[in-house]
Chain A
Amino acid sequence: MASKKLSGGGLPVIARFEVRHRNYLAPDGSINRPLPAFASDTNLLTALYRAMLLLRNFDRKAVALQRTGRLGTYAVSLGQEAVSVGVASAMREEDVLLPSYRDNGALIWRGVKLEEILLFWGGDERGNCFSGPVEDFPFCVPVGSQAPHAAGVAYAFKLRKQPRVAVCMFGDGATSKGDVYEAMNFAGVHKLPVVFVATNNQWAISVPLRLQTGCETLAQKAVAAGFIGEQVDGSDVVAMRAAAEDAIAAAREGRGPRFIEAVTYRLGDHTTSDDALRYRSADEVQARWKEEPIARLRNYLVSQKMWSKAEEEQLAAECHERVEAAVECYLATEPRRPETMFDHLYAELPETYAAQRRQLAGEGDA
């Protein structure tokens, strides 16, 4: 795509690249092009819908808990539910997820309990010892630094000849970091079974995409690493699921890594500590609400008679119940004893730190 701007006079073209964009559902829920095969499976489509709605309910509750002093800083998924749900739904259990801190939807899909996510954001490491696939990575807070881990995990899969895929998720800001490029570059060299998913929600806290990169797309960053980058409508869960399915299948079959740029929009603040009105207009956000993923899928499902008002009401009640039960469980979780902060420092605690542990436990005066 960039070649049209950068073409030099009269010199031969030795390489040309293109970036494709994938979308099926229009913002109003109508169809732009024939849907992939899985979309005829009502159970699957409604499961995606249920997961997105649960995530939105969970988000709303988490923010309320934070506002009332019962949860720490929390990163909301509002508006980008289709990305994490779509990607996770295309993974197999034995694949490994390496999420960023905003990928709650993917964790929940993979079996992490809501109360565990609350524990993490509530300041308790036990939240990272979550249910769900035991080899999945915890939330990564330093932006993009999990990308080299994904390459390492994928290298281990390749070395051990395991048909598994590492799926690494990060935001648009992370694509500016060397970590992500270094990992993609290595994955390209060794054709590793890894899929990189960049959630382009247009804003890295207050920095808009146009100040993040001079590229027309983030997807084209894969070109420099030697593999396919695809741009996907990240507010269209059908497109996200389809793109992730293709990329994961290719990786599993030994055809190397893929990069997915999920173009979406963060409708909420960056975190509960952020006020997005400082750097972007309410009008801009309002306009983007028309494209959001949940109403989009609901409109489609309703138009296809795959979803009814009664089901919607029942789902709302179920989500409420599940979230409230998780909150109750979270709030009832006793804090760890202070000295347990030492318990997983090393496989075996060296004596010098064991003395500090005893001091903290009030058992000595190290």
Chain B
Amino acid sequence: MPEVTLVEAVNLALARAMEDDPDVVVLGEDVGINGGVFRATVGLQTRFGPERVLDTPLAELLISGLCVGMAAQGMKPVGEIQFMGFLYPCIDQLVNHASRFRNRTQGRLTCPMVLRTPHGAGIRAPEHHSESTEAMLAHIPGLRVVIPSSPERAYGLLLAAIRDPDPVVFLEPTRIYRAAKGEVEDNGEALPLDVAFVLREGRDVTLISWGAMLKETMAAADTLAADGIAAEVIDLATLKPYDEITVLGSIAKTGRCVIVHEATRTGGFGAEIAALIAERALTSLLAPVARVTGYDTVIPMARLEQHMMPSVDRIVTAARKACQFS
């Protein structure tokens, strides 16, 4: 099997989806001849033509609104927003239309669209290019929010997102677009949505994360293993709706939990998981649930951004503390 980067896996999945289904349309700013600012759509326009790989005017609200209209006609639009910081004009369409279309028409009309956008900091980008506001999206009823953390999962989950009959926001971890490499078989097989992936089994502490932060989380698990602490690592992958069963099952086994996310702490998705554990697994807990997150600041520009993002050390420290709690 060929080894590909995460962004190449995205490209493979898009091409496969377009090949399999003539209703799949890719649209966004610079997705055509330029192949997208991160090259996720490279080569698609040559292969599928400018009507199905559509360079839109510079208007994010429009991109999301067009997707709603096309999807209501039974097409499968896949919109690209260049950076998550530019996603906000789409929120009106996501909250007021895409996510509730099926519900408000009682199933008469549906909205099988996908909106893709890079997610997160760590690429020394300008302001507004480093956002990780997934919790805001995960709060929207009727939406699916998916974040892959490897090329294999980017390929399989994006195919699943495109085939899903409901709207999906697909957040692609910018920092590991090219850093993450893996073997991906372009066999058209989707991975399941709404399901967490256990990347590493362990009995002492559960580490839960998603997207690019799994890189640090896995590294922390390695360090902990050297100390004799067996960490179980869960890639949540779908944040809305999320896999409560896998989370609770792991806590029942380990009794300790550290949640790791790059997004700011207050109201972050880690709070949701901590609340779930408090409600449903309190008697399993041997230590308080810990969160290792971005700080409650604006995401700093390049010179300071690495200080905001959780480090391997911060994760290891939190996990050790949880394990030492008596």
Q: A residues engaging B (CB < 8 A)?
A: 96, 125-126, 128-130, 134-135, 137-138, 141-142, 145, 147-159, 166, 178-179, 182-183, 185-186, 189, 343-347, 350-353
Q: In the complex, which residues of chain B have a beta carbon less than 8 angstroms from the beta carbon of A345?
A: 102-103, 141-142
Residue of B nearest to A342 (CB): B103
- B93 neighbours in A (Cβ, 8 Å): 145, 148
Cβ-based interface call for B253 (8 A): no
Question: Does chain A have a CB within 8 A of B229?
Answer: no
Chain B nearest Cβ from A112, distance in angstroms: 12
How far, in whole Å, are A99 and B141 apart by their CA atoms in the complex? 24
- Asked if residues B110 and A147 are in contact (CB atoms below 8 Å), the reply is no
Max chain B C-beta neighbours (<10 A), residue from A96, A145, A147, A156: A156
The stretch of B57-65, B216-224, B288-296, B311-319 that contacts the partner chain: B57-65
**What residues of chain B lie closer than 8 Å to A179, measured between beta carbons?**
61-62, 65, 92
Q: Beyond A145-B93, A148-B93, A189-B57, is A125–B65 a contact (Cβ under 8 Å)? A: no
Chain A residues closer than 8 Å to B67, beta-carbon distance: 152
B29 to chain A, nearest CB (A): 12
With A344-B103, A347-B166: A159-B62 Cβ-Cβ less than 8 Å: no
Closest partner residue, chain A, to B51 (CB atom)? A159
Residues of B within 8 A of A351 (CB): 241, 245
Chain B proximity of A194: nearest CB distance (Å): 10
Q: Are B59 and A152 in contact (CB under 8 A)?
A: no
Q: Within 8 Å CB of A145, what residues of B?
A: 65, 92-93, 96-97
For the complex of A and B, the 8 pairs showing the least CB-CB separation, nearest first, are A152-B69, A148-B65, A156-B73, A149-B69, A129-B106, A182-B62, A350-B241, A152-B66
* Contact (A153, B70) CB under 8 Å given A125-B104, A145-B65, A353-B241: yes
Q: B interface, how many residues as a size bin?
A: 35 or more
Pair A159/B106 contact, Cβ less than 8 Å: no
A135 touches B75 (CB 8 A): no
Question: Given A142-B92, A344-B107, A346-B102, are A182 and B65 neighbors across the interface (CB < 8 Å)?
Answer: yes
| A183–B241 alpha-carbon span in the complex (Å) | 31
Given A185-B59, A186-B62, A345-B142, decide whether A156 and B70 contact each other with a Cβ distance below 8 A.
Answer: yes
Which chain B residues in 41-70 approach chain A with CB under 8 Å?
51-52, 56-57, 59, 61-62, 64-70
Quick one: which of B133-175 are within 8 Å of A by CB? Answer: 141-142, 164-166
Asked if B326 lies at the interface with its beta carbon under 8 angstroms from chain A, I say: no
Question: Shortest Cβ distance from A202 into chain B, in angstroms?
Answer: 26
Q: Give, as a whole number of angstroms, the nearest-CB distance from A111 to chain B.
A: 14
15 pairs from A and B in contact (CB 8 Å cutoff):
A96-B73, A126-B106, A128-B104, A137-B109, A138-B105, A148-B62, A151-B62, A159-B51, A178-B61, A179-B62, A182-B62, A186-B56, A344-B106, A344-B107, A346-B142
Among candidates B72, B194, B242, B244, residue contacting A152 with C-beta atoms closer than 8 Å: B72
Q: How far is the CB of A217 from chain B (nearest CB, A)?
A: 24
Given the complex, which residues of A lie within 8 Å of B6, measured CB to CB? none
Q: Are A148 and B25 in contact (CB under 8 A)?
A: no
- Closest CB-CB distance, B123 to chain A, in whole Å? 28
Closest Cβ of chain A to B80, distance in Å, is: 15
